[in-house]
Chain A
Amino acid sequence: MSFVARRGNTLVLAICVLIALPVVTRNAVWTDSAALLGIYALLALSVGLSYGQAGILTLSQAAFASLGAYAAAICTVRWGWPPLADLPVALLLPALIAFPVARLVARLSPLATALSTLAIGSIIAIAIRSADDFTGGYMGIAGVPSIGFVKAPASYAWLIWAMVVIVVFLYENLCHSAYGRALNVLRFDQARAAADGVNPPMLVSAAFAISSSIAGVSGWLYAHYISFVSPESLDAHLSISALLMAVVGGAEFILGPILGTLLLDGLTRLLPAAELQGVYYGIALIVILLVARRGIFGLIEGGLAQVRQLRRSRSGEVTALEIEASRP
């Protein structure tokens, strides 16, 4: 397969960003929305990798994001590091926690694993709140500097969406590799994957660690963009929202979580009453679970498959059944 064909998702996303952002950034309110949407899209993407690929229903992504955000705040405000120097910390710190945790819990049932991620998220949140000297406790940390050359909100919107495109590029590479295929196999049958030579708990944990790094980056961007972090900034509700966004869009599809983010969060921004957000999310989830278990992208894929089949039977191309029937 050619370079282009293996990066269809990245290309589609890059083109959409290049078309939409110049228009969106003409309006100050929209620019801010676009920046925040990008941050949530990263968080939803991290859910996509964890849940859609590795099969870990994760409820800890916002906690990993807050690790990234606090890493940014502490490194720059407390220790006076230049911005960007804190990025490796924001990437690695969540992974260093996520990997061993996943190694411990990946063998459990899916439900138990999900609950463990919830627990880990709570532990991180509590630790951040109680380490006053270090994290500023309930007060949080203010005055996080902007990232060097990036100062205006519009530049942030560009930086954030560039990061989304980069993450999708990496994610797509992973999906087209032996590791991505192995994740697909073990999500539905661990024994089959093991017979291919896959070490299921190891691979799942590695994927979870990468997913937590993506969440870390979203937190890092958040801290520098908003310039303030507190325990409320990226709380457990956000973990659940990110999960919803991924599931609504289609967690197993690369662009599914981004579509879900745009639909859920984007539309609530357009809706008049912000208090209704919870209701709106609940309805979206119920509708999706009823009509499209695999999310909107799953629905689209199903439709495309039907069209393809129709066209094939019209054009008289051999179908699998005919191959079966003509077996020697």
Chain B
Amino acid sequence: MSGGLVAKGMEVSFGGVRALRGVDIVVSPGAVMGLIGRNGSGKSTLFNCITGFVRPSGGRVSVDGKDITGMRPHQVVAKGVGRTFQTPRLEARTSVLTAVTCGLYASVRSSLVGALFGSPWAMREERLLRERAEAEMERLGLANLRHVEVGKLSLGLLRLVEVARCLVSGARFVMLDEPAAGLTSVEKDKLAAEVRAVAARGLGVLLVEHNIDMVRQLCRSVAVLETGNVLCQGTPDEVLRNDDVIRSYLGALGDIEDAAGGWQ
């Protein structure tokens, strides 16, 4: 198996619904791979089965040649694959800073016992975690929301907090599920710049996004999902010219963008 995050022949069914029917996708280090498709085409399900939240009934996932199929979510994180959730899952009362710092869990080296006794080493690491979280928030324009409770944020900003929490983790591959929905255009630009910077650092990004402009700007390659199959794959321009894609996806896009607009 080659380098990168590779999923081959992924199959998932929920009862009678075959949500994925043999999907192949490759995320290379340093590149942004786009994933588009109409609602219910299986994008989030692909995320879930790569990251261990849903057990695939077929297919294999590997990271840099190492098989991670069937691993549990925290093991997948340990292999360097991070993700965001399409619907942010955050407890209303935590502050933005705390939420982002939670994303650093996988990089914590001090032990539970060290933390319990407040060893100098654990305290120093704690300071470091905070600094890393603050730096990521700065880059995404979240710095002045540091002490705001996440329950007070709009869905758009919540997604941005999710993205910060994922990017800060030190994962080598990050999977972002519709991160730009509900953001203002300035915020979208910040997000796009950060995604580009992250890819430039050598991370592989898998981006689910309904915002075609953003996909066009960021992605070297795009895959289109339709009812659990990859309809086609190529550069954004190739894909967006494809007749099948126009019929299946772009036709429905008006509705989707209306829905996304409703959150703003």
Which residue numbers of A lie inside 8 Å of B, CB to CB? Answer: 169-170, 173-174, 176-182, 184-185, 188-189, 191-192, 194-200, 206, 210, 320-321, 323-324, 327-328
Which B residues contact A (CB, under 8 angstroms)? 51-53, 72-74, 77-78, 82-83, 85, 89-91, 94, 98, 101-106, 108, 110, 112, 115-118, 122, 126, 129, 144-145, 148-149, 152-154, 157, 165, 169, 184, 186-187
Specify which chain B residues have a CB less than 8 angstroms from the CB of A206 in the assembled complex.
112
The answer to whether A182 touches B117, judged by C-beta atoms less than 8 angstroms apart, is no
Check A324 against B105 for contact (C-beta < 8 Å).
no
**Cα–Cα, bound, A191→B90 (Å):** 11
Q: Is the interface of A mostly helix, strand, loop or mixed?
A: helix
With both beta carbons as reference points, the residue of chain A lying nearest to B98 in the complex is identified as A181
Which residue of chain B has its CB nearest to the CB of A189?
Answer: B89
Q: Which residue of A177, A191, A195, A324 is within 8 Å of B126 (Cβ)?
A: A177
Determine whether the beta carbon of A182 is less than 8 Å from that of B187: no
Given A178-B104, A206-B112, also A197-B91 (CB < 8 A): no
**Bound Cα distance A200, B148 (Å):** 27
Shortest beta-carbon distance from A46 to chain B in Å: 14
B117→A194 contact, CB < 8 A: no
How far apart sit A198 and B107, CA to CA, in the bound complex (Å)? 11
In the complex, are the beta carbons of A321 and B152 less than 8 A apart? yes
B187 touches A174 (CB 8 A): no
Q: How far is the CA of A324 from the CA of B77 in the complex (A)?
A: 32
A195 to B98, CA, bound (A): 15
A13 CB, min distance to chain B CBs, angstroms: 16
Q: Which residue of B lies closest to A178 (CB)?
A: B108
New contact pairs (17) apart from A191-B89, A196-B103, CB-CB < 8 Å = A170-B118, A174-B112, A178-B104, A178-B108, A178-B129, A179-B112, A181-B101, A194-B52, A195-B85, A196-B102, A196-B165, A197-B169, A199-B74, A320-B148, A323-B148, A327-B184, A328-B186
- Do A320 and B145 form a contact, CB below 8 Å, given A189-B91, A191-B89, A197-B78? yes
| Residues of A close to B184: CB separation below 8 A | 327-328
Q: State the CA gap A229–B106 with chains docked (Å).
A: 44
Which chain B residue shows the least CB distance to A197?
A: B106
Can you identify 10 A-B contacts, CB atoms within 8 angstroms? Answer: A170-B117, A180-B115, A184-B94, A188-B91, A191-B73, A192-B90, A194-B52, A194-B53, A194-B72, A195-B82
Contact between chains at A195 and B83 (CB < 8 Å): yes
Closest residue of chain B to A203 (Cβ to Cβ) is B112
Q: How far apart are the CA atoms of A181 and B112 in the complex, in Å?
A: 12
Q: How far is the CA of A148 from the CA of B133 in the complex (A)?
A: 49
B115 touches A192 (CB 8 A): no
Min CB distance, A106 to chain B, in Å? Answer: 14
